[in-house]
Amino acid sequence: MTGTTTDGAPRRRVRLTREARTAQILEESTRLVSQHGFYGLSLQDVANAVGISQAGLLHYVGTKEGLLQLIVEQRYDRRFDPEAYIASGDPAATHPDGASFPGYCRFLVRNNAAEPQLVRLYMVLGAEAISPEHPAHGYFDARPDATWELYSRTTWRLPPEVGPWEDARGLVEMAIEAMDGVQLRSFRSPAVSMEEGWARFEQVLFPSPVWDGYR
């Protein structure tokens, strides 16, 4: 049996393991959502892109909302967390007194810059999800608390002037908000490099001499 590719050409259906098929579905769905948004996403378009029927697609994702949950949780969230930063072996991440938060921000920006399609997915969904009716509205509303909880599982090395981690939430949220702005600007014209844009924000958020030795 065959499906069709995104340009309508026939595609031979290939039997894959469940894990491989799910990864293929997520890859194509990410591309389509980043281009058209969730409301512009057609399950039939996803099915065509991976070469299966719509009924076959629903077997993997359940519903359109279930597909969105998979995209957000498995394609965006499960990447570049503090554990991945420490596992990278970066000396700033493996210091015996704790990981460097500015170093982690650079790690995030560097890896996001290498995957612009996922960054675009996040921005498109985030803008759509302002509407309370959007299925991802709750996810984005809860994201600041969820991010703080995730980051708080890691021991960070902070300057004495900054105080304990428990007092740093405002700084952490400003860093994330600045990062969101840099990512958005990288898609404008003329484009600004994410890493170059972030380097300017880092000087303001983590200034010398306070953060010298903690980067």
Tens of pLDDT, residue by residue, the chain (215 residues):
445 555 555 455 567 788 899 989 998 998 898 888 888 889 999 999 999 999 999 999 999 888 888 888 777 766 789 999 999 999 999 999 999 999 999 999 999 999 888 888 888 888 999 999 998 899 899 999 999 999 999 999 999 999 999 999 999 999 999 999 999 999 988 888 999 999 999 999 999 999 999 99
Nearest to 186 by CA among 117, 107, 133, 95: 117
Strand, coil or helix: 4: strand
CA atoms within 13 A on the CB side of 143: 18
Q: Is the peptide bond before 209 cis (omega within 30 degrees of 0)?
A: yes
| Whole-number Å distance between alpha carbons of 201 and 120 | 21
Token pair listed for 104: 């982690």
pLDDT of 2: 46
33 and 71 Cβ atoms separated by less than 8 Å? yes
Query: Whole-angstrom Cα distance, residue 48 to residue 11?
Result: 8
Q: What was the pLDDT predicted at 141?
A: 93
With beta carbons less than 8 A apart as the criterion, state whether 24 and 73 touch. Answer: no
Domains and CATH numbers, the chain: 18-72 (1.10.10.60), 80-205 (no CATH)
Supply the pTM of this predicted model: 0.80
Alpha helices in 97-211 (DSSP H): 101-113, 116-128, 137-151, 169-185, 194-205
The partner residues of 99 in beta bridges, in order of sequence, read 156
